[in-house]
Structure 1
Amino acid sequence: MPTNYIPFRETGYFSKFICDYLEERPELADFYNRFPSKENFETQIKEKQSSYKASHRKILVETLKDQYSNSDISDLTKHNIQSLASDDTFTVTTGHQLNLFTGPLYFLYKIISAIKLSNDLSKTYPEYNFVPVYWMASEDHDFDEINYFNYKGKKLQWNSNQTGAVGQFSTEGLDEVFEVVSAEFGQGKKADQLKHWFKEAYLGHTNLADATRYLANALFGEYGLVIIDADNSELKRLFIQQMEAELLDETAYNNVSKTNLDLERLNLKIQVNPREINLFYIKNGIRERIINEEGIFSVMNTDMRWTESELKASLQNNPECFSPNVILRPLYQEVILPNLCYIGGGGEMIYWLQLKSNFEANRVTFPMLLLRNSVLVKTQKQSDKLRKLGIVDKDLFLKRNTFINKRVRIISNIEIDFSEQIKHLENQFEALHGVAEETDKSFLGAVKAQEVKQIKGLKHLEKRLLKAQKRKLKDQIERCTELQEQLFPSQSLQERNLNFSELYLEYGEELIPELFKTLEPLKGKFTVLTI
């Protein structure tokens, strides 16, 4: 199982901001609490322990037990749920949308990162318990983002006219998708296992949240993963204080807006912008923004209206109808969980850093932020082909045209690099500039024009020679680009495009254990794995 690690900055697929964060650039230090190094967790534990309300633990445990009441769960998951009642137990959390059949491959990497980090912390701090948590984004509304998964270049999609919070969506209609999926997966033991998971998840459960819980539990339950659906009245009751402050004082808007200005001064692109009220109202297929117009609160596109006192009463009586948006969801998560660290992708990391000031205003401990593991998985056959062609892992990350040009230069039997000639020409013209300076300065412009013309001509000749060699070496180049396309489908990262089913059909039960052996959450590098 050969493994290679590449710095994120050298892949060319991650933003400057993320690379700066991983390198702990000082200009970003004010936007997070502590960097996720193993030694920093001790202080984070103490801070969370002193700020997290012990009364929340009992409700959290009771809610999780209720949500798992119809599930077959491992002894380790049962133990982890019960351990959350103890004040020496903390969570490591990742979150993800309820994508059909897990969606992109990185769904696995997020959860494995959370489980591996929990295990690593248990060894470093044996006096505490650490529980990996998958937070289901059951209150999201963007169905078009989650209603499909890619399989061997095809988009397998679920069509539905339902509206509102996607976790509450009925799974009606997924029997038709199952027929398509079954045909695509084909026959065999590995295919049968995939079909079993799909059928049990989506045909055996009535809503999308329950279906997703089943699937995540089937994949990771034996590792002790705890799955939480925060679209719950008892959990939201723990968040009433913060929701009331949001409704009446516009807390997030005031704080996050100031942080955004600070981030923009660092030339960082803002991921999300706060609204005056960052809560939705959800009920019976409705998920609409709450707005305040001169002291009268209303739900957009409905007839619902409240005065301030009526709104407070509604919040107390029906907290489950109030739903935090992307700005407020992280605060909700950290209020109800004894959480130390959130693991997410690059975009998530950026918007979390927009939120620290709002956590401080609400007196809630800001978690450590860890970039999830990223992985490129190669088969042994692909690895052998790459080695024979002389392609190193780092070259695979090059953009297609750059990749081809480099391969042509490497395998060509003639030199296709005119940089030495161009440098020689520049030196010659430098001497000519000196002569012109000493004789007639009016010639400087003509000398410069001639230099530009001749260098441009050399570069043009180099491009023509490169193009000619591409034609001559077409077969060899096609073999190289075919391999790159297999590993970077549509010239994007494998993990953002493929569904886990493609790798499962290749590796079967070996896949997830091999990933567990390899991934190192705190390593801070891109993993290239050959299985």
Structure 2
Amino acid sequence: MSLNSVTFQNSGYFSKLIIDYLNQEKSIASLYNRFPTIENFKKQIEEKELNFPTINRQILHRVLTEQYSKIKPSNKTLNNINALSDSNTYTITTGHQLNLFTGPLYFLYKIISTINLSEKLNISYPGHHFVPVYWMATEDHDFEEINHFMFEEKVICWNKDSKGPVGRLDTKGLEKVLEVFKSHIGLGNNAQKIIKLFEQAYLNNYNLAEATRFLANELFGDYGLVIIDGDHRELKQLFSPYIEKELIYQRNIIEVEKSFNLLKEYTIQVNPREINLFYITDKLRERIVYQNDIYKVNNTSIEFKQDEILEELKKYPERFSPNVILRPLYQEVILPNLCYIGGGGELAYWFELKQMFNANEITFPILLLRNSVLLINQKQRKKAEQLNLTWQDLFKKADRLIHDKTQELSQIQFNFNKQKEFLNTQFEELKTIAQQTDKSFIGAVLAQEAKQLKGLNNLEKRLKKAEKKNHKEQLGRITLLHTELFPNNNLQERVVNFSEFYKECGDYLIEKLFQKLNPLNHEFDVLVL
């Protein structure tokens, strides 16, 4: 097992759209700005420089300074926040939900990709400064998506009612979650460090936004990560001209739908609405809809005439929240951003937005697929070698892997394709004879052909079943290893929480990830711990 990575294209876990993007297919070139290469950042800097006002930097710096007032940033993070006031400083950004205790592993991979790319750019462009940013999705509302994490196949869940933006949700009840977590994690220095981190983040902070900021800062503050919460009055004031246009003209839906013709052979990730805004308070997050010349807040009695809603926007910009379509635009208006790093699903909806960005005269960022990793311990690696499995084997779906390995282990071929081809040839001749003699025989010939093909298929299945039985022990070991690495036929990074590995490896886990991940390699890394 000499190779320690698999290309994204060959991993089997990415959509056709993402593969076509990685292959830089010309058919979708108009859906993005520049492909992520070190060289392309030069033109991206030049373009962003032309349309990012100095006042935006000043407000951004002031808001970040306020948001960091309750935690202690590292000197590197503090320097990065201060640097954002300078015209030669730019950001590299990733975003993520406020998953309980980081949620699945890819939370780490997103942020490490962002930090590592920033460092690469600082070396490649010494005349500029690049700051890694984590955008907290504090205005989301789908609590069921974020209120749990997996630890050693156990779901650790926070049961609580939630109606408004999740970032404003208080942390009451998380002491019970910690008690459940403690009962599973066991003993050891690393286990105690994890428990302490959970306590400090969730029991000592008032709401989920503050808790997540603390947690991300503890994990990545020493690397200079800057964490931003877009749910802020001054930041919304910066974005209010775009909110006003959305309310009055409702043109963004038209611009987004222009991309659909190019995306028709792919899956449309999200559909725009006439108004892509929510109205939010601490306990409310509902869509704004326009009906009969009245702006209504869905599922409430709140409504406005046009002059009234514009006055509401002027007085309370913090009550207006962009949805999945407008959130990327909001991000790029308030950040001097060059690149957004996300997963395949995220990039898929960004590809819908290029025309909307053009219409709003905002630079469209470079889009980069985040790093992906399969973590494997020494024992699992040894098992894979003993079973003669390659990394490419392990990335196959379980059924395909067992089929291929059964065939490989078998002394005979249980693939009857040659026999089926021979049978087809014979019956084609019989059909020709029937056509020339008595066409009424065609039905009988077809029925006999179907019967014999069915018989061959049944023999093939029985032989395959028998061979699986003959190699039951080895195939069982292969299945067990595959299940450990790909739980429920899913990627490990989408299921398992970092604490499961941190318990065994401690800080070594994050150190190795920083060493391993190269955000511009476009490969699925395998990291043996």
Q: Normalising to structure 2: TM-score of the pair? A: 0.95
Q: Take 2:118 and 2:450, find their aligned partners in 1: how far apart are those partners? A: 60
Structure 2 equivalent of residue 408 of structure 1: 406
- CA-based RMSD of the aligned residues comes to 2.1
Structure 1 equivalent of residue 184 of structure 2: 184
Structure 2 equivalent of residue 384 of structure 1: 382
Q: Alpha-carbon deviation of 1:291?
A: 2.1
Matched, 1:337 2:335: yes
Structure 1 equivalent of residue 218 of structure 2: 218
Please, which moves more after superposition, 488-497 or 465-474? 465-474
- Partner secondary structure for residue 39 of structure 1: coil
Structure 2 equivalent of residue 93 of structure 1: 93
Q: Alpha-carbon deviation of 1:447?
A: 5.9
Matched, 1:104 2:90: no
Q: Which amino acid aligns with 2:123?
A: K
Structure 1 equivalent of residue 524 of structure 2: 526
Matches within 5 A, 1:80-479: 80-260=80-260, 262-264=261-263, 266-426=264-424, 450-479=448-477
Whether the 8 Å CA contact 1:3–1:530 is kept in 2: the answer is no
Q: Alpha-carbon deviation of 1:121?
A: 1.2
- Partner secondary structure for residue 182 of structure 1: helix
Please, which moves more after superposition, 250-259 or 193-202? 250-259
Q: Which amino acid aligns with 2:188?
A: G
Deviations 1:370-401 (A, max 9, x none): 11111111111101110111111111122222
Deviations 1:245-267 (A, max 9, x none): 0111112222223333x245x32
Q: Alpha-carbon deviation of 1:530?
A: 1.6
Please, which moves more after superposition, 333-342 or 508-517? 508-517
Matched, 1:66 2:62: no
> Are residues 434 and 299 of structure 1, via their aligned partners in 2, closer, same or farther at CA, if it must alter by over 3 Å?
closer
Q: Alpha-carbon deviation of 1:177?
A: 0.5
- Partner secondary structure for residue 376 of structure 1: strand
Deviations 1:48-93 (A, max 9, x none): 0111111110111111111111212211111111111111111110
Please, which moves more after superposition, 63-72 or 335-344? 63-72
Please, which moves more after superposition, 384-393 or 414-423? 414-423
Matched, 1:57 2:57: yes
Q: Take 1:474 and 1:340, find their aligned partners in 2: how far apart are those partners? A: 53
Q: Take 2:7 and 2:515, find their aligned partners in 1: how far apart are those partners? A: 20
Whether the 8 Å CA contact 1:379–1:530 is kept in 2: the answer is yes
Q: Alpha-carbon deviation of 1:420?
A: 4.1
Matches within 5 A, 1:28-43: 28-43=28-43
Q: Take 1:116 and 1:439, find their aligned partners in 2: how far apart are those partners? A: 76
Whether the 8 Å CA contact 2:165–2:282 is kept in 1: the answer is no
Q: Take 1:89 and 1:343, find their aligned partners in 2: how far apart are those partners? A: 18
Q: Take 2:235 and 2:24, find their aligned partners in 1: how far apart are those partners? A: 35
Q: Take 2:434 and 2:442, find their aligned partners in 1: how far apart are those partners? A: 6
- Partner secondary structure for residue 39 of structure 2: helix
Q: Which amino acid aligns with 1:30?
A: S
Please, which moves more after superposition, 467-476 or 214-223? 467-476
Q: Alpha-carbon deviation of 1:327?
A: 0.9
Q: Alpha-carbon deviation of 1:518?
A: 1.1
Q: Alpha-carbon deviation of 1:341?
A: 0.7
Q: Take 2:220 and 2:248, find their aligned partners in 1: how far apart are those partners? A: 41
Q: Alpha-carbon deviation of 1:108?
A: 0.7
Whether the 8 Å CA contact 1:2–1:530 is kept in 2: the answer is no
Deviations 1:2-56 (A, max 9, x none): 7622222322221111111111111111111111122111111100011111111
Please, which moves more after superposition, 204-213 or 26-35? 26-35
Whether the 8 Å CA contact 1:251–1:361 is kept in 2: the answer is no
- Partner secondary structure for residue 78 of structure 1: helix
Q: Which amino acid aligns with 1:385?
A: K
Equivalent pairs: percent with the same residue? 52
Q: Normalising to structure 1: TM-score of the pair? A: 0.95
Matched, 1:499 2:469: no
Q: Alpha-carbon deviation of 1:310?
A: 2.2
- Partner secondary structure for residue 413 of structure 2: coil
Structure 2 equivalent of residue 6 of structure 1: 6
Please, which moves more after superposition, 14-23 or 401-410? 401-410
**Across the two proteins, how many residue pairs are aligned to each other?**
529
- Partner secondary structure for residue 159 of structure 2: coil
Q: Alpha-carbon deviation of 1:120?
A: 1.1
Q: Take 2:131 and 2:147, find their aligned partners in 1: how far apart are those partners? A: 29
Q: Take 2:433 and 2:88, find their aligned partners in 1: how far apart are those partners? A: 80
Q: Alpha-carbon deviation of 1:315?
A: 1.1
Where does the alignment leave 5 or more consecutive residues of structure 1 unmatched? Answer: none
> Are residues 439 and 44 of structure 1, via their aligned partners in 2, closer, same or farther at CA, if it must alter by over 3 Å?
same
Whether the 8 Å CA contact 2:118–2:131 is kept in 1: the answer is yes
Where does the alignment leave 5 or more consecutive residues of structure 2 unmatched? Answer: none
Q: Take 1:17 and 1:154, find their aligned partners in 2: how far apart are those partners? A: 34
Q: Which amino acid aligns with 1:194?
A: I
Q: Take 1:65 and 1:177, find their aligned partners in 2: how far apart are those partners? A: 31
Q: Alpha-carbon deviation of 1:122?
A: 1.4
Whether the 8 Å CA contact 1:3–1:527 is kept in 2: the answer is no
Q: Take 2:467 and 2:214, find their aligned partners in 1: how far apart are those partners? A: 54
- Of 457, 478, 481, the residue aligned with 1:480 is 478
Whether the 8 Å CA contact 2:3–2:391 is kept in 1: the answer is no
